[in-house]
Amino acid sequence: MGRLIAPLLLSFSLSAAALAASPSTTELVEAAWQRHPQARGLDARRAELAALADLAAGWTPGPGSVGIGNRNDQTFERRGQLEWELEYAQPVWLPGQAGARREEAAAALRTLEAERSALRLGLTRSVLDAHRNWRLARGLEALAERRLEVATQLAADLARRVRAGESPRFDLNLAEGERLSAEGAVAEQRLAVADAGRAFAVLVGRLPPETLAAPVPSDVPAEHPALAAAREAAALATARLAVTRQSLRDNPEVGLRLRRERGGYGEGMADSVMVRVVIPLASAPRTAAREAGAQAAVTESAVTLARRRSQLEADQASATDQLATARALEESARRRQQLAEDNVQLADRAWRLGERPLEALLRARAASFDADSGALRARFAREQAEAWRDYLKGVAE
């Protein structure tokens, strides 16, 4: 009993270790995120927008300024006239401008997060597609290697028969031709595997793993991230239009000036305080240009949102049809695979009994390998259709 349990425990521990070593989709997506220029740019913009939000939440629209001045008559009359001025000036919000700026900052942060979610979803889909393409290439490579193995065995068998005088050299030549063709197919598929692996490495920064750890099921979002990003972008454009309308002129400025002066030698220093208010005037052409630009951005974002919503609905309807077709094609490919395998067995038996020529067996085997390849491609096409359907729902992991 112990001899039976020990190998089982060893097998289980090795399987568990292999599963633990398999990276998860989240880990691969995170690695791809660190290599994606747009993703890193969004990370950098988050700090910028957070700082702008802090600025918009302040009591004033910006920092004040300090000025210092001196006036004397040392260059000309030299009567001892002396004057020092120290001034602090602070810009102030226009009516309604502070609230508009805060709403703009909040909308910008929401837009950034929505863009991050949309980009991460798309990046997840790219990673899974790249890994799926690599697995398909590996599967086709395995089929090509099996074809080469079968062709090599047949050529070796016929070589023995030719030496024994039991088969014509014509059959051996046919078998050698099939073996050489199988060798070429193996070389092509190995190149395809290498190319798919390199494409994955460019995206993620590492070679594709044999398997991926089972992902944690995620809930379907109420709104597709790409559509949410477009909606938040439209809200941001509206918020910027509101800021433009609340900023018809530059910010007023309130200053406090302290003056210390004397009229000449022998006179005492006199102190005075002055309050200064600067109200910039509005410029109609500049205001019209700013508002027109902001209104154009609002219109463009609204059209983009409507178009993206329509495109998403059309893609979802198309994905449903594609998945139904892919499932039907996969079922047909499986049936064809079964029929081709049955024909191989019949043709092999007939050839060994001398009832059919070797060409019939080779054609049956070629059809069988083609059916195996078609079934494999159909299975991956169905997986691709399912992944596309899930992506349009907002789920990719």
Tens-digit pLDDT profile for residues 281-336:
888 888 889 889 999 999 999 999 999 999 999 999 999 999 999 999 999 999 99
**Which residue range is the domain that position 204 belongs to?**
23-393
Confidence band for 145, pLDDT divided at 50, 70 and 90: very high
Q: What is the pLDDT of residues 195-217, one digit of tens each?
A: 999 999 999 999 999 988 766 66
Q: How many residues does the chain have?
A: 397
Q: Write the DSSP assignment of 177-197 as a string of letters.
A: HHHHHHHHHHHHHHHHHHHHH
The answer to whether residues 25 and 131 touch, using CB atoms and an 8 Å cutoff, is: no
Is 53 inside any structural domain?
Answer: yes
Is 11 inside any structural domain?
Answer: no
Confidence band for 118, pLDDT divided at 50, 70 and 90: very high
Is 389 inside any structural domain?
Answer: yes
Does the structure show a pLDDT above 60 at 12? Answer: no
Query: What integer pLDDT is reported at residue 319 of this predicted model?
Result: 95
Is 6 inside any structural domain?
Answer: no
Query: What integer pLDDT is reported at residue 147 of this predicted model?
Result: 94
Residue 274 tokens read as: 């002055």
The answer to whether residues 226 and 116 touch, using CB atoms and an 8 Å cutoff, is: no
The CATH number assigned to the domain holding 119 equals 1.20.1600.10
Does the structure show a pLDDT above 90 at 249? Answer: no
Where in 44-179 does DSSP place strands (E)? Answer: 65-72, 82-91
Per-residue pLDDT, averaged over 120-134, amounts to 95
Does the structure show a pLDDT above 90 at 219? Answer: no
Q: What is the pLDDT of residues 356-395, one digit of tens each?
A: 899 999 999 999 999 999 999 999 999 999 999 999 999 8
Number of independent structural domains in the chain: 1
User: How many whole angstroms separate alpha carbon 237 and alpha carbon 244?
Assistant: 11
Confidence band for 5, pLDDT divided at 50, 70 and 90: very low
Is 5 inside any structural domain?
Answer: no
Confidence band for 220, pLDDT divided at 50, 70 and 90: confident
Is 306 inside any structural domain?
Answer: yes
Does the structure show a pLDDT above 80 at 19? Answer: no
Query: What integer pLDDT is reported at residue 314 of this predicted model?
Result: 97
Cβ neighbourhood burial of 385 (10 Å; 0-12, 13-18, 19+)? buried
CA nearest neighbour of 255 among 60, 71, 65, 63: 65
User: Which stretches of 79-96 are DSSP H helices?
Assistant: none
Does the structure show a pLDDT above 70 at 256? Answer: yes
CA nearest neighbour of 119 among 221, 29, 28: 29
Orientation of helix 37-56 relative to helix 97-164, angle to 10°? 170
Does the structure show a pLDDT above 70 at 7? Answer: no
Is 197 inside any structural domain?
Answer: yes
Percentage of the residues of the chain whose pLDDT score is greater than 70: 93
Query: What integer pLDDT is reported at residue 14 of this predicted model?
Result: 35
Confidence band for 15, pLDDT divided at 50, 70 and 90: very low
Dihedral angle at the C-alpha atoms of 281, 282, 286, 287, nearest 10 degrees? 160
Is 13 inside any structural domain?
Answer: no
